[in-house]
Each structure stands twice: as C-alpha cells, then as structure tokens.
Structure 1
Amino acid sequence: MKPKNMLLTLDTCLEQEKTGRKTGLLVTALMNGLMLVLSLPFMDWIQLVNIPKLFAKLGITREAAGSLYSSYSIFSLLGFVKNSGKGVFGLYAMLLLILLVATWYLELLYIWKVCRNSKGDDGKGELHTYVIGKASTLLTALLVFGSYGFVLYSNNVVKMKGFSGSWILAVELILALAAYGLIKRMEAKERIRCHEHGLIKEFQKNWVLFLMLIPLCVFFLINSYLPMIGIYFAFVNFNFSDGLWASPFVGLKNFEFLFQSQMGRLIRNTVLYNVVFIGLGNVLQIFFAILISQLTVKWFKKTGQTLMFMPYFVSYVMLKVMVYSLMEYQYGAINNMIRSSGGTAIDFYNTPVYWPFLITLFYMWKSVGYGMVIYLATIMGIDNELYEAAKVDGANIFKRILYITLPQIKPTFIILLIYSLGSIMKGNFELFYQTVGNNGLLYDVTDILDTYVYRITVGQPLSIGLGSAAGLFQSIFGFVVVMVTNWAIKKKDSEYALF
C-alpha cells in the first residue's frame, strides 16, 4: 500500500468515534515506543567530527583520548564530559540527561495508560491520557532541540565544528511532531464530545485568576527552581579560579567519597532519630491535644496551651546553655544534686549511652507544643453535635475519643506524616550541633549526616561538592520515601493520599 493511501486509511479510521479513538491511541503509543527505543543508551545522538583537532583544542591528552568514543548518546554524554575533564559542557549535558529521564517516564506512562485503557467508552478517561501524551511528545521535541543546541554551543566553545547531530535526531523530531498532531486532534474531538474545554478557553474564561498566579510562579521560580542549578556543585571538583561552569567535572566522585566515609553509621543515626521523632512526636502531640481539648476550665486550658507552646520559641543556643548548666560534670545542677545525696557524679559528655535518650527528650520538649497546636485546631473544628449524640447514646469520654476524635484527626495525621517522612534523611542540625558540638566521644550515637557534612565543609573550604552531594542524596531519599508512602496510602484509601 502506498504511503498516501495508508494516510488516507488512517485518517478515515480516526474519523470514526470509538474505533478512531482506539486506533489513534494505539498508533501514538507505538510512536512513543519507537521514540523511547531511539533514545535508549545504545542510540548515539551526538557525534564527534575532526576528532584529532577537537582533542587538541580541548587539551585532551593521548592517555585520556583512549577512553573517549566518536559518538555518544544522551545517557553517555556525561561520560565524555568526565573523561575529557571539561566541566564547561557538564551542566548542559546534565540538563539533557534529566530531560531524557523525564521523557522516558512520560512515554512509558502514556504507553501504560493506553494499554490499560480501563475507563470504558465515555472518553473522559482518555483526556488525562492525551495530556500525558502531549507532554511526552513535547518533551521529546524539546530534548531534540536541546541536543542540537548542545552541538551549536559546543562548537561555539571550541571555535570549530567538532560536534554534530546524528540522523536519529531528525527521526525523533518527526515522530514527536506527528504523534503530537494526532493526539491533539483526538483530544479536540473528545473535549467537544465530553463538553470540556481546553487550557486556552479556560484561560480566556478565568484570566484574572491566572493573572493572580503570576507573582506566585515568579516567587517559586526565583527562590525554589533557579537555585536548583546549584545541584551541579555535587558533580564537579569546584575551585574559585574556574568557577562553577568550568570546574572539572568528576561525575559521581563526590558521592563515592560520601559512601566511603562511615555512611552506614550516619544513615543509621539520621533515620533512627527521625523515626523516633516522627513516631513518638505525633503520639505525644495527639495525646496533649486531646488532653487540653477536654479541659473545661477556660483559664487553665489557655495556660496549659501556652506553657506547652512556649518551648518552641526557645533558641537552640539557649537550649545549649541550659543543657550544659544541667549536665556539666563538675558544676552541673544534676551532678550537684547527685553528689549532695551521696551518689557518684555522671560524666554525661564522655558517656555516649545517655545521649540518644537525652536528644529525644530535648526534641520532644521543644517541638511537641507546636504540633499539638495543629492537632488541637483540628479537634476544635470537629462538629460538637457528634459528641452530643455520642453522649446521648451513652458513650463515655474514652469511647468518644476513640470513635470520634481519632478518626476525625486521621487526615491531618496522614498529611503531617507524609511531609515529615520527606525529611527523614535530614537531621535537626541545630539540635545535634548545639547540644553535642564537636565532642568526638559522642559521634557514634549522635553524629548525623548534616553534622558530618558541616564538619567536612568547615575543615575543607573547597569541599562544596561534598555538601551538595549530601544534600542531593537527602532530597532524593526523601522524595522516594514520600512517593512510596503516598502510593501505599493511596492503595489503602485514596481519600487520604496527598496526590
């Protein structure tokens, strides 16, 4: 069959309602699959030309040239940057790799959605699938243009034609644009059939609301997203003479150093402390919130709430002074009391066994009041008629708490739990550093990832990459924990899931 006849047949098929939708989804899924295959690591998108002259321009030695190739995929492009030692290409190559991973995710998600296709024939289920498909094709096109941009940028840096794009880029771009056109056409028909309008009509209808979002978007762009470029510190051996962009690219070397340096102990301490802080903290916060909510004397209730909340405002520097005044071996208040009663003084600062309990105690004293206020606000919002009806039915106070209060605060607990788990690899640096300081005798039970990285960066001013690597590791670990937790909650009861 001629290509023209094939296109006419496909166009006729797409005009049909049910068959056209399924055919279009299948065709675009196959196109996404082909784009995915063409972007796999064994498909080279970037080629090196005039190699001897290029290596001479870059100052690459003959020994280093032995580990380089004549063509690279997006996935292996960072290998060229690392082996060549030229960090000036590193950020661009890393952005392309991040974009590639995002493209893979959306392409696989679109293919999975099409194969699953369990929404029936109402078409509304496919609208979300179309959005994913458009996003995957647009990201693929952006990745192709970014690859061409890398070629132009690199040639401009070396002042010669040393890089070129392979034929795969053109094929990938054609597939992306064709798939986008098909998906856009199917989506338009579905929106008409389902009486739903797209983004442009939504903007025309609610342009004032979109306008109000601009300051918020600008705020997050400047304060949250642009600083993320600093992640690149984690992959370079930073020095001030070359700056961030020209510093030698070292790949995962900073991460290797971290994992070779007592990482097991640091992860163990950080995670275990946070598990105790989150678990015991929420239990105590809920307990005191319920306790205060049951008080009937107004002034006593306000006083108790204030006293519970006040430690939150005590600075960690003041906490350090208080702890030292209590636990110092020679003049500390606790040891003075022990001596006055005929006992033997305890050398707290040279005895590690006490500190896991002490740090937990200090954290609870300082933070329980803040969390208690959140739960108390939730309890105060519970309809009082529920309690009145339970009283009429003969429920005592414990049953009212068990069957009314606790179920009502469950959504708040789950949301706070998910947010807390996102920081499970980030220790409370101020608490640990101010109470323990640089006491090496206590490191085995009190040293966490944050305090360890702080000591490294203070002792070695040029080890910025190590600190960035540690921060990136913490963020990725927390992100994975949040995603897994949210998935588990969604499987159990989607009503309580965060997203």
Structure 2
Amino acid sequence: MKNRWISGNRWISGISAFILIFSLPFMNWIKVVNLVSLFSRIGVTKEMAGDLLTGYSLYNLLSFVQYANQGVLGLPAMVLLILMAAAIYFNVAFIIRTFMAGRNGRGKGELSYLAAAKCAFLFSFITALATIAFVIFSNIRFKMTGFLPSAVVFIVLAISLAAYIYIKILEKKEREKYREHGLLVELKRNWVLFVMLIPTFIYFMINNYLPMLGVYFAFTSFNFRDGLWSSPFTGFKNFEFLIKADLFRLTKNTVLYNVVFIGIGNVLQIIFAILVSRVTVKWFKKTSQTLMFMPYFVSFVILKVIVYNVFEYQYGLINNIITGFGGDRIDFYNTPSYWPFLITFFYLWKNIGYGMVVYLATIMGIDNEIYEAARVDGANDLQQIWYITLPHIKPTFIILLLYALGSIMKGQFELFYQLIGNNGVLFNATDIFDTYVYRITMTQPLSIGLGTAAGLYQSLFGFLIIVLVNYVVKKRNPEYALF
C-alpha cells in the first residue's frame, strides 16, 4: 500500500512538472491575429510595429501593453504575470514536497501534502482561465478578434483540472481514513462563527486589499485625463528613475538608521523597563515613568524649534557656551558627520519611554512568587534579572523585533524632515526613502508613479526581511514565530 502511495506521488509530480514546463515564460500563451487590422485600430505606426510580436507569453505580454500604448490592458496583463509566478512557485514547492514525502512515514501529514498539490494545480488552472478571460476582454476592447489563446492554454487547463479532481479523490480517501473533515464540514458545524467573521473580512477587503490595486501606479505615467487604468504603461521606468537617483544610498541610509533605532532602542527600553520595575518607592517609580514617557508627546515641530535653538551657528545654545569658554563655533547645519548621532539621540529620547511601557507590562505580568523563590535560593538582583526577567521578556522582544523589521524601509519621516528640512548639504548622510519621495512628489508634477514605485520597493524589501527573519526564528523556536 505504501509503495502504491509513493507511486501515485511520483505520477502526480510528473503531471505537475509537465504543467510547470508549460507555465514557464518561454511558451506563447497568446497569439496575435489580424495584425494589420489590429495595428490600424489601435494606432500603431510602422516604427512601433517593429517592437511588437505575433505571439506573447505571460512574461513578455506587458511589452505589448507598453509598445502599443494600451494602458487599459496593463493591469490585466500584470495580474496574469503574477498568477504565472504564483503557479510556478506552488508547482515547484509541490514537486519538492513530493520527493520529501517519499522519505517520510505515513500519517496525517499526507493531508498537508495533498493541500499543496491542490494549491499548485488550482493556480495553474486559474492562470489558464485568466488568460482566456484576458483574450476575451482584449477583443471586446478592440472590437475585433485581435488575440487568440494558444493550444498551450487549453492543455494546461485540461491537465490542471484533471489533476485537481484526482487530488480531491485522494484527499477524500485520506480524510475518511483519519476521520478528518474538510472546509465544507467545518462551515456547516461552525457557520455562526464564520458569519461573525464576515464584517472583519469586508473591512480588510475594503481598507487593506482593494487599495493594493494602487500599486499599478508604479508602472504607469499617470495623468488625470486617462485615469489609472488607461494611462500610458511605462513598465519599469519609474524604478529605473529610482535606481539612477542613487537607490543604494537611500537604501543604505534607511536600513542603517532603522537598524540602529531598533537595536539600541529595544536594548535601552528593556534596560529602563527593568530599572523601573525594580524601584520600590512608588512615588519615585511613577514620576520616573511619567518623565520618560512625556517626550513621546512632544510635537516634531516643537522638537525642530528646540534643536534649532540648541545647534544654530550664530545664536545656538551650544555655540554660545563654546564661545563663552573661548572656543570656536561649530557649524552643525553644514557638517553632515554630526547628524547621524543627533538624529539617533533625539529618536531615542522621544521613543524610549513609549517602548518601555510594553516591556514593563510584560515584567509586571511575571508571577512574583518566582522572584521570591529565587531570593530564597540566594539569587541576587542581577541573577534574578538574567534568569527570570530576561527569559520572560524574550517572546515580547522577538515579536516586536519582527514587527519592526517589517517596517525597516519605512523611515521616521517627521523626525528627518523636521530636523533636516531641505538642507541639501546634509542629504548624503541623512536622506532616507520617505524624505526623498516627499521631495520628488512636491517638486515634480504628477509624480504619483515614482512615489508608488518607491513605496512598492520599500514594502517588498520589508516583506522579504520579515519572512527571512521569521524563518530563522521558526527554525530555532517555532513558538516565537509570527507564522
């Protein structure tokens, strides 16, 4: 029976590999027909016609959108590209799991394996189906038959559907054997709970997922006359602009500042939380906590005024003190080397008290009997902190670290903009993505695409970082991982 199961795995993986080959960007999924009529209808000149092809894969379909200046097809073509990438990813993951399944023993883990198979074939099926929908939409748009799906699309469609049905049959047998039930049974048993989730689902769809369609701005030269879906598709030109604008320097500054903020900030927050928790005098404890928390409520505009009056060249407090002792004035606002330290200092000054509250709440939740038992055993204060407090803080620290790393490319815009402003002398040491995007948005008309491209780059960078760190954490201690 086991050999029969493994043989079935190999057979299914063979189909998956077959679909994967046809999902690669080397096969033409869409054929262009009636070239002359199509080119005349969409206004393609002889010069532009040289860049167009008679067949397109899902990988290079966006080139037709760009060269034919058909921005209205840009979003559907991009959706097809994303679906193709997802289909390739899930098929590769399924093949890897197929070979891993042959090494493992039997058990309920096979249901997880079958779920991966369903996901792989489902995305292949959806990709093929979406390609046919794209062809229909394009022909309606051009009011003629300009595109046709190739035979590859129908082959992938048929194989994916057949494989998905086969997987469902295998899954049904496995569920009966291990007395597991599927989603439909779960819906029937707990339909009230699922109904209660509907408002949450609607909220996140409207406020979190639908706005993600705005990512398409990053690939267009937006104008209000044509709107988002009909503006000229520019491909990766907005990203090329960012690269030419010293992408490495902006990335380096943003990441390094955030690494320092996250690293030093969390360490100091933990230290101060421990110190406050060890204070036994109530009035001093409350006063200290309040004084450390108050800077968080100081406006960045007020902070800018304070910093300017302290570091200004002619009348600043520090320069007046220096000249009072017979020294030479320091031109802070024309010396970039000072500002990484000053920005870090004022960030920590504002945020230590706020971040300390989370760790302090965790420490307050530790059972006091543990400390009493440690004291009875002869543990001093440092030993209690090392062996009791810090291990209890560790899960909170890891979760906060993962959340912070997800925003590692999101700089503290208010802090940098208020302290530095438009002082170009300091940009090399202090310019981050947020301030750069703000400047190009304010100085260049309709630069929505550039701003969106920068935001997309930041989001993808942060996503990859948090996935990587979460993977490392999960390998070492799965209980501390976010997912």
| 1:105 maps to 2:89 | yes
**1:412 and 1:64 mapped to 2: Cα distance?**
58
Q: For each residue in 1:106-143, what CA deviation from the matched residue of structure 2 results, as whole angstroms up to 9, or x when unmatched?
A: 11111111110168444310111212221222222211
| 1:38 maps to 2:5 | no
Is contact 1:24-1:186 (8 Å) kept? Answer: no
Is contact 2:17-2:95 (8 Å) kept? Answer: yes
Question: Number of matched residues?
Answer: 483
The Cα of 1:420 is off from its aligned counterpart by 1.1
The Cα of 1:396 is off from its aligned counterpart by 0.7
**1:293 and 1:122 mapped to 2: Cα distance?**
51
**1:25 and 1:286 mapped to 2: Cα distance?**
51
**1:328 and 1:120 mapped to 2: Cα distance?**
69
SS in 1 for 2:31: strand
Name the aligned partner's letter for residue 383 of structure 1. D
Is contact 1:429-1:451 (8 Å) kept? Answer: yes
SS in 2 for 1:441: helix
Is contact 1:123-1:190 (8 Å) kept? Answer: no
Q: 1:433 aligns with which of 417, 420, 427?
A: 417
Name the aligned partner's letter for residue 92 of structure 2. L
Is contact 2:101-2:113 (8 Å) kept? Answer: no
**2:111 and 2:202 mapped to 1: Cα distance?**
29
Q: 1:237 aligns with which of 221, 225, 242?
A: 221
Normalised by the size of structure 2, how large is the TM-score? 0.97
Is contact 1:308-1:368 (8 Å) kept? Answer: yes
SS in 1 for 2:235: coil
Name the aligned partner's letter for residue 51 of structure 1. L
Q: 2:51 aligns with which of 51, 64, 67?
A: 67
The Cα of 1:400 is off from its aligned counterpart by 1.0
**1:390 and 1:146 mapped to 2: Cα distance?**
64
1:218-229 alignment runs, 5 A limit? 218-229=202-213
Aligned to 1:369: 353
SS in 2 for 1:254: helix
Is contact 1:270-1:427 (8 Å) kept? Answer: yes
Is contact 2:218-2:450 (8 Å) kept? Answer: yes
Is contact 1:24-1:182 (8 Å) kept? Answer: no
| 1:246 maps to 2:233 | no
Aligned to 1:9: none
The Cα of 1:390 is off from its aligned counterpart by 1.4
Deviates more, 1:36-45 or 1:301-310: 301-310
The Cα of 1:315 is off from its aligned counterpart by 2.0
Q: 1:461 aligns with which of 445, 449, 455?
A: 445
Name the aligned partner's letter for residue 477 of structure 2. D
SS in 2 for 1:461: coil
The Cα of 1:392 is off from its aligned counterpart by 1.5
The Cα of 1:70 is off from its aligned counterpart by 0.5
Aligned to 2:468: 484
**2:120 and 2:7 mapped to 1: Cα distance?**
19
**2:376 and 2:153 mapped to 1: Cα distance?**
74
| 1:421 maps to 2:405 | yes
Is contact 1:24-1:183 (8 Å) kept? Answer: no
Closer, same or farther in 2 for the Cα pair 1:20/1:184, shift >3 Å? farther
Deviates more, 1:324-333 or 1:67-76: 324-333
**2:109 and 2:173 mapped to 1: Cα distance?**
14
Structure 2 unpaired stretches of 5+:
none
**1:186 and 1:393 mapped to 2: Cα distance?**
59
Name the aligned partner's letter for residue 269 of structure 1. N
The Cα of 1:44 is off from its aligned counterpart by 0.9
Deviates more, 1:429-438 or 1:140-149: 140-149
Is contact 2:6-2:102 (8 Å) kept? Answer: no
Is contact 2:413-2:434 (8 Å) kept? Answer: yes
Aligned to 2:169: 185
Q: For each residue in 1:268-296, what CA deviation from the matched residue of structure 2 results, as whole angstroms up to 9, or x when unmatched?
A: 21111111111101110110011111111
The Cα of 1:229 is off from its aligned counterpart by 0.7
**1:51 and 1:78 mapped to 2: Cα distance?**
18
Is contact 1:328-1:335 (8 Å) kept? Answer: yes
Aligned to 1:401: 385
Q: 1:303 aligns with which of 263, 282, 287?
A: 287
The Cα of 1:496 is off from its aligned counterpart by 2.1
**1:102 and 1:390 mapped to 2: Cα distance?**
53
1:122-201 alignment runs, 5 A limit? 122-201=106-185
| 1:117 maps to 2:101 | yes
**2:366 and 2:147 mapped to 1: Cα distance?**
66
Name the aligned partner's letter for residue 211 of structure 1. V
Name the aligned partner's letter for residue 378 of structure 1. T
Name the aligned partner's letter for residue 189 of structure 2. K
1:330-345 alignment runs, 5 A limit? 330-345=314-329
Identity rate, percent: 58
SS in 1 for 2:314: coil
**1:210 and 1:69 mapped to 2: Cα distance?**
49
The Cα of 1:24 is off from its aligned counterpart by 3.1
Deviates more, 1:134-143 or 1:439-448: 134-143
Deviates more, 1:131-140 or 1:393-402: 131-140
Aligned to 1:288: 272
Deviates more, 1:447-456 or 1:78-87: 78-87
Q: For each residue in 1:446-487, what CA deviation from the matched residue of structure 2 results, as whole angstroms up to 9, or x when unmatched?
A: 111111111111101211111111111111111111111112
**2:104 and 2:57 mapped to 1: Cα distance?**
40
Normalised by the size of structure 1, how large is the TM-score? 0.94
SS in 2 for 1:342: coil
**1:468 and 1:377 mapped to 2: Cα distance?**
38
Deviates more, 1:460-469 or 1:324-333: 324-333
Q: For each residue in 1:148-167, what CA deviation from the matched residue of structure 2 results, as whole angstroms up to 9, or x when unmatched?
A: 11101100111100001011
The Cα of 1:264 is off from its aligned counterpart by 2.1
**2:210 and 2:397 mapped to 1: Cα distance?**
32
The Cα of 1:224 is off from its aligned counterpart by 0.9
Q: CA RMSD, aligned part only?
A: 1.5
Is contact 2:268-2:352 (8 Å) kept? Answer: yes
Aligned to 1:388: 372
Is contact 2:24-2:88 (8 Å) kept? Answer: no
Name the aligned partner's letter for residue 205 of structure 2. L
**1:352 and 1:69 mapped to 2: Cα distance?**
52
Name the aligned partner's letter for residue 328 of structure 1. E
Name the aligned partner's letter for residue 466 of structure 1. L
Name the aligned partner's letter for residue 338 of structure 2. Y
Name the aligned partner's letter for residue 304 of structure 2. K
**1:461 and 1:480 mapped to 2: Cα distance?**
32
Is contact 1:233-1:468 (8 Å) kept? Answer: yes
Q: For each residue in 1:161-187, what CA deviation from the matched residue of structure 2 results, as whole angstroms up to 9, or x when unmatched?
A: 000101111111111111111111111
